[in-house]
Structure 1
């Protein structure tokens, strides 16, 4: 199954992520996937925690646990109380997870 993800600016300086598909929410996701491709073409975007959770499929505590264990990209400070993750690093983590899964399937 091919799932597209898109980031769109919500007019308040934040990105929203939605996955693409057949439902209205999934159609909105397809629109986000198109925007994400635009953002990627313009350079690396910084994603806030809700976007990272959506892309990675992890909870807040799960993300920070993996960061602490060195198994997920570390966030970048973007303010005194704000952090964000480079999109390219989150994508690389997802790609590595898929590759690890595919390698295990071949071995089985």
Structure 2
């Protein structure tokens, strides 16, 4: 199995939902539904904004790839 990408600890930037949606091609509504179901990481709240660590997205994508190849 190949992983989508790897990050070192210095590349673990905070990303927003616009980035996640653009990166994956999935809608923000779909991701918020997954968050509500506990199937996608909860955001880090910074004031009124929500951010995720890039590593959380990559780890989630790798888990999705593993599950789909079974």
- Do both proteins adopt the same fold according to a TM-score greater than 0.5, normalized to the shorter chain? yes
Number of aligned residues: 66
Q: Where in structure 2 are there 5+ consecutive unaligned residues?
A: none
Alignment of 1:72 with 2:40, yes or no, is yes
The match for 1:97 among 59, 64, 69 is 64
TM-score w.r.t. structure 2 length?
Answer: 0.80
Root mean square deviation of aligned Cα? 2.1
Report the structure number with the largest CA radius of gyration. 1
Q: Does the aligned pair in 2 maintain the 1:56–1:90 contact within 8 Å?
A: no
Q: Where in structure 1 are there 5+ consecutive unaligned residues?
A: 6-36, 104-108
TM-score w.r.t. structure 1 length?
Answer: 0.54
